Amino acid sequence: MIEQVFPRVCVYGAGAIGGWIGTRLAGAGCHVSVVARGATLDALKRHGLRTEHGHVEATVSVQVSANPAELGVQDLVVVAVKAPAMLEVARHIAPLIGPHTVVLTAMNGVPWWFLQGFGGQFQGARLCAVDATGEIAAALPTQRVIGCVVHASCSLKLPGFVHHHFGNKLIIGEPCGELTERVMQLAALLNRAGFETTASQQIQRDIWYKLWGNMTMNPISALTGATTDLILGDDLVRAFVSRVMLEAKEIGARLGIPIDQQPQDRHAVTLKLGAFKTSMLQDVEAGKAVELDALVTVVNELGTLTGVATPNTDALLGLARLQVRVRGLY
């Protein structure tokens, strides 16, 4: 039975995506616990973990604590925090980790393990933009990790209460690209839980393709307050976005993850979302720390590593970084 493979699941970061995944896994028969603090901790103790999609609402009871040691060793830990919180997670996650624990990283942007088991001549390089000291990699070595790319839109109505807007796709994969038994078992569990799950033989390609759109829409929306339709509706801004994307496309090609589309192909996909408010704009409006390093700073670093000039990416990074520093969000 699938439940016996990952019977104990802990969600570290019960925000919109983590709460959505946790609710589904509880519904699939897993014993779900959550590491949470503050208002989220209180809400989960009082109401359980709640999600809604359309007019359908689901509520599951979860074990919750601010102290991972109170939850004990898990079979699966779903890390669904924003990238700026990852160092703090690394410093406290050890009590959840046993000899066979799998850590599923359901996060935006380029993760610390991106060039582990992948990257040709660049394989093994540490990305300082997302793990400056190597502390994250030390706490969560690559052999623990399965990567996850989320293609869904969720937001928090209230602490511990997730509204699922659209999308239901998860792509998971080992950093080394092997279709291991544990990847296939996890994919089966996630499918059982109601997700449309694919096991990838090159999860870095899937991460990079998602980043190809996020790395421009997110910071530009944070700078301007504009939704994605307005960003792409301005000829000058759309041309700038395309230039940034072409720089990232060349970096990907040198890493061994070429993209067979042109920027305008991705623009057409983004425009279908309508007046979409990005996660970074939502964070700026809420006064939360932004994921700039995992989405843009790391591209600057990878450009230097691969020998690709990134003048447009650098301009975007500099402007966005200045804006969030002034607001105290970086």
Quote the pLDDT of residue 264.
97
Quote the pLDDT of residue 5.
85
Strand 97-106 with 145-158, pairing: parallel
Instruction: Identify each DSSP E strand in 97-216 by its residue range.
Output: 97-106, 145-158, 161-173, 196-199
pLDDT-derived band at 150 (thresholds 50, 70, 90) equals very high
| Separation CA 254–CA 171 (nearest Å) | 23
Mean pLDDT of 126-131: 97
Mean pLDDT of 84-94: 96
Dihedral of CA 193/210/105/1: which sign? positive
Average pLDDT taken over every residue of the chain: 95
Residue 220 backbone phi and psi in degrees, to 5: -70, -40
* Cβ atoms 51, 215 nearer than 8 A: no
Mean pLDDT of 24-50: 96
pLDDT-derived band at 135 (thresholds 50, 70, 90) equals very high
| Separation CA 25–CA 31 (nearest Å) | 8
Taking only the tens place, the pLDDT of each residue in 299-324 is 999 999 999 999 999 999 999 999 99
Judged against a pLDDT cut of 80, whether residue 91 lies above it is answered with: yes
pLDDT cut 90: percent of the chain above it: 95
pLDDT-derived band at 123 (thresholds 50, 70, 90) equals very high
Taking only the tens place, the pLDDT of each residue in 24-33 is 999 999 999 9
How many helices (H) and strands (E) the chain has is answered by 13, 10
pLDDT-derived band at 2 (thresholds 50, 70, 90) equals very low
Mean pLDDT of 191-219: 97
Taking only the tens place, the pLDDT of each residue in 221-235 is 999 999 999 999 999
Q: Is 210 considered catalytic here?
A: yes
Those residues whose C-beta lies under 8 Å from the C-beta of residue 128, and which sit 6 or more positions away, are: 301
Mean pLDDT of 181-202: 97
pLDDT-derived band at 4 (thresholds 50, 70, 90) equals low
Mean pLDDT of 239-265: 97
Mean pLDDT of 157-170: 95
Judged against a pLDDT cut of 90, whether residue 3 lies above it is answered with: no
> pTM of the entire structure?
0.94
Quote the pLDDT of residue 306.
98
Of the residues 82, 169, 210, 249, which is catalytic?
210
Judged against a pLDDT cut of 50, whether residue 207 lies above it is answered with: yes
CB atoms within 10 A of CB 154: 21
In angstroms, how far is CA 208 from the centroid of its own chain?
12
Mean pLDDT of 149-172: 95
Mean pLDDT of 29-42: 96
pLDDT-derived band at 249 (thresholds 50, 70, 90) equals very high
| Separation CA 147–CA 155 (nearest Å) | 22
Mean pLDDT of 270-297: 93
